[in-house]
A and B are shown apart, each in its own frame.
Chain A
């Protein structure tokens, strides 16, 4: 039983982490595509249209990867987490069905029009298709974050006579107080990834002295969007998200920060390794009072540590949770610094020839992916030991009828298949980037 649970958890974690490598680019990129198409409409300069067409190719590759790796997730609620699906399906089935009916149809319809219909639709029609792809992807994000927000902070439900969790208020589900900040934090995180990717490819073109006109456009848009989005990640969205955790999941906050003891002037840890066995943070480098301030807007306020809670309420992966949170926060801080410098250089007109800055932008490409992944690890590990916070434990959720051997079979299958997908995906993206926005041959 224990090993089967472990495999179910690992398989979902693996498939969802892998899946989110793609939407986190496409959701943000959809917004940047709308901006490029708008610039084309405004200036009537074919340069912007070619730029959009280039990114549409990258978008299409990543979108299809997102679709094919996303379908398994909706299935796995039933295949691997049937006890959870049975208990809570009446609630989270709503948001998942809403996503299908309202977001996926919209997205797929207009993506088809966007990719295949440029000649059929005309300039304004094609802009509209791009805009609707953006709406569809962001709506899809909304419903899926609403699902997760309910698992983090269940609202609008009641427990029926047969112990099922059933929906009591549809609007409470969609107006969950946990949802708005989590949604914005997630979506802006996706803009960060798209902006960094765009700036990185642009910087690569400039450094390699190829497609330089496009390189400048990409760096300019990427840095501008990246600068704004990186700041918004910290404030207000990240800050507010943190306050929600402090208010509703105080154990999680203590575990994220490696705060084992309740104290006033609670510090934030810059460095240090949580030592769960001894109940302390090893090799700590901390700033006192900051955690108290961030949580209660009062430097001296008392913040409850892990010692204030019984052990069976502690997240079961405290070190990984702590590192995920710190990696996210550390990278987010670096992003703000880099993008601020790059934005100032851009405004002064020096960025396009500033090789150290361009090198930095180019090399930063993988890091927003890491930061977004670490952010989701923080949310999901932070919710432990609960599957639905306060209502259902993770240990109560899996499909007990699926043996560990069957689960292992599919886990290995997914890992093998996704390894293959990764090679294909890297190869095709690399190829499009090498060909650039103006492929040599016609058609």
Chain B
């Protein structure tokens, strides 16, 4: 039962990154691909009806993590205190930029929010990547299962780590590159003309960076977290996850060349899903390893709530997710196709 919930939470987090990832990525390239106000409105309109729903995956995943693994939620949220609060501030600024930008037609107002939107999106991508890096690398847990990390110590991976060290920064940069690519493919899918061409160019730039960093981060991960090579050696079938990621990466390149935007975007989704499930598979059964010694690590077994809560949770989680799937299919179908500014309300 704990393993099942581990998979479900991992999938929810992966869904969050796949969905909110493309609107964060669109934010990163927003100021660079779109030359004038009309083009920027198109970028915004492409995420307008969906970004809020995408962000709900974060809340739903957070809530699910909270009830299924309360100890993990409590320990990690308090231990990552400062970066999490900074993420909150970035989420606030970004959402306001999206919503408030359109209200006033002004040469001061709109460019201001454009910069806020782009900057907050980029920083969020880096922070999310660094957060994942922290979870993979592990933190300095004590015997009670608590920790508190400063933002940085000496930028080295050791026992007394900070949030930012060379490894987590590397993962952060990879996340930024991945989401830039993901967002570029989304914008290319949703637009046409010069804007689309520029989005293509961004995707073609971001692809080799992502591919290179993927290789580097994979090597680094195998080097610093022994649990990961251990798991892949113990359960060779787990190679399916990295293979999916690799297929996504290659698929993106092929379809990018053919300018088949839809397939390229889906390949990017596959890449992200493959990468995140690989990380989850590599860590299992740990949910937060310890740099202070393997016996201090938090696992699904020492953080999960009692069996009844997990079982009853499943009873509402499954129908709930079916509903969510229905909403998403409906919304994305309704708003499918290229953005035309005369057809969107609100912006």
Residues of A bordering B, CB below 8 Å:
60-61, 64, 67-69, 71-72, 74-75, 77-80, 82-83, 85-94, 96-102, 104-106, 108-109, 111-113, 115-121, 160, 164, 166-168, 170, 399-403, 406, 409-410, 413, 417, 421, 424, 428, 431-432
Contact = CB atoms under 8 A, between A and B. Distances in A.
Given A93-B68, A105-B53, A82 B78 contact: yes
A112 B48 contact: yes
Contacts of B49: 112-113, 115-117
A77 B78 CA distance: 9
Contact of A120 (B78, B328, B334): B334
A112 B52 contact: yes
Interface string B62-82: 111111101101111111111
Contacts of A102: 316, 320, 323
Describe A's contact surface by its main secondary structure: helix
Contacts of B67: 89-94, 96-97
Nearest first, the 9 closest Cβ-Cβ pairs linking A and B are: A78-B77, A89-B70, A93-B67, A90-B305, A97-B63, A100-B60, A112-B49, A93-B66, A86-B74
B232 interface: no
A89 B330 CA distance: 33
Given A108-B56, A166-B305, A100 B62 contact: yes
A108 B63 CA distance: 17
Contacts of A424: 96, 100
B22 interface: no
Contact of A111 (B52, B55, B328): B52
Interface string B322-341: 01100110110011000000
A440 to B, nearest CB: 13
B132 interface: no
B300 to A, nearest CB: 14
Nearest to B328: A109
Interface string B86-115: 001101100110011001100000000000
B11 interface: no
B76 A78 contact: yes
A117 B308 CA distance: 42
Contact of A104 (B59, B308, B316): B59
A117 to B, nearest CB: 6
Contact of B331 (A83, A87, A109, A409): A109
B309 interface: yes
B234 interface: no
Contacts, number: 234
Contacts of B85: 72, 75, 79, 410, 413
A435 B267 CA distance: 46
A401 B78 contact: yes
A411 to B, nearest CB: 10
Given A401-B148, A421-B96, A93 B52 contact: no
Contacts of B99: 60-61, 64
Contacts of B343: 119-120
Nearest to B326: A109
B313 A94 contact: yes
Interface of B is mostly: helix
Given A112-B53, A113-B49, 14 more contacts: A74-B59, A83-B74, A85-B74, A94-B313, A97-B60, A98-B320, A101-B324, A105-B56, A109-B328, A117-B335, A120-B335, A402-B78, A413-B89, A431-B104
Interface in B94-144: 95-96, 99-100, 103-104
Given A116-B49, A409-B82, A428-B100, A68 B92 contact: yes
Given A410-B82, A431-B104, A75 B327 contact: no
Contacts of B160: none
A79 B95 contact: no
A109 B81 contact: no
B312 A106 contact: no
Interface of B: 48-50, 52-53, 55-56, 58-68, 70-71, 73-82, 84-85, 88-89, 91-92, 95-96, 99-100, 103-104, 146-148, 305-306, 308-309, 312-313, 315-317, 320-321, 323-324, 327-328, 330-331, 334-335, 343-346
A105 B77 contact: no
B54 to A, nearest CB: 8
Contacts of A432: 103
Nearest to B94: A68
- The residue in A100, A115, A399 that gathers the most chain B C-beta atoms within 10 A of its C-beta is A100
B346 A60 contact: yes
6 contacts: A78-B73, A82-B75, A105-B324, A108-B53, A109-B328, A119-B345
B346 A115 contact: yes
- From A82, A413, A428, residue with most partner B Cβ within 10 Å: A82
Which of B67, B88, B316, B343 counts the most A-chain CB atoms under 10 A from its CB? B88
A68 B78 contact: no
Contact of B78 (A109, A170, A399): A399
A79 B63 contact: no
Given A85-B66, A93-B68, A68 B95 contact: yes
B62 A406 contact: no
A105 B327 CA distance: 8
Contact of A100 (B50, B63, B77, B147): B63
Contacts of A421: 92, 96
Nearest to B76: A78
A170 B312 contact: yes
B317 to A, nearest CB: 7
A71 B53 contact: no
